[in-house]
Amino acid sequence: MKKFDIIEHTADIGIVAYGTELKEAFANAAYAMFTLIADLEDVKEVVCRQIEVEAGDRESLVVSWLNELLYLFDVEGVIFKRFKVMELSETSLKAEGYGELIDKARHSLKAGVKAATYYMLRVEKDNGYSVRVIFDV
C-alpha cells in the first residue's frame, strides 16, 4: 500500500496520506510532509521526540499534529522520518517521531513548509483511511 500521493496546487502543495488504520494515515501524513522538506534517505533515526497534541475534532487534530512537528523542526532542527502513533482519539494524539538534527553538510533540504492549513482538510474512511491536507509553502 502506498503511503501518500501529492496534490497539485498552484501556489502551495497538498498531500493525501493513506493507512489501513487511522493511526497509520496520521503517521503517513507526517512522513509525506517531511518528504517535502528534505530527502529522507539521508536522514538517520538517532533522535526521538514524544509528541502530544489536542484539538477540537479529528480534522483539526491533523493540522495540530503536523504543525507541532513543524514547530519542532523550526525550534530544535529535527528532521523526522518515521512516526509511531501510539494513541489516537477524536480530539487527542500521542506519538513518537524519529529522525535526526539538521546537518547541512549531509542533508539535502528542499522546500520550507510554513504550515498545514484547514483548507480542503479531510479525514475519510473508505478502504482504510485517508487524510488530505494542503500546506502553505
Partner 1 sequence: MARWEGPLKKIDDYRWEIPQSYKSGMRVPGLIYASEEMLKSIREEQSLEQVANVAFLPGIVGYSLAMPDIHWGYGFPIGGVAATRVDDGVISPGGVGYDINCGVRLLRTNLRESEVRARIEQLLSELFVNVPSGVGSKGKIRAGKKEIDEIISKGARWAVERGFGTKEDLEVTEEGGCLKGADPDKVSFKAKERGSPQSGTLGSGNHFLEVEVVEEIYEPGIAKIMGIEEVGQVLLLIHTGSRGLGHQVCDDYVRTLREVVQRYDINLPDRELACAPVKSKEGQNYLAAMACAANYAWANRQCITHWARECFVKVFGKSLRQIGLEMVYDVAHNIAKMESYQVEGKRLDLCVHRKGATRAFPAGHPDIPSRYKEIGQPVLIPGDMGRCSYVAVGTERAMKESFGSVCHGAGRVKSRHAARRLQRDADVARELASRGISVRAASKGGLAEEASEAYKDVTEVVEVCHQAGLCRKVVKARPMGVVKG
Dump strand ranges (E) for the chain. Answer: 4-8, 13-19, 47-54, 78-88, 92-101, 115-116, 122-126, 128-136
Stretch that binds partner 1, among 17-25, 27-35, 90-98, 118-126 (CB under 8 A): 118-126
Q: What is the pattern of x (binds partner 1, CB under 8 A) and - over residues 53-92?
A: --xx--xx--xx--x--xx-xxx-x-x-------------
- Which residue of 38, 61, 62, 69 would you call a contact of partner 1, by CB under 8 A? 38
Q: How far apart are CA 111 and CA 86, in angstroms?
A: 29
Q: Which residues bind partner 1 (CB under 8 A)?
A: 6, 8-13, 37-39, 55-56, 59-60, 63-64, 67, 70-71, 73-75, 77, 79, 102, 104, 108-112, 114-115, 117-121, 134, 136-137
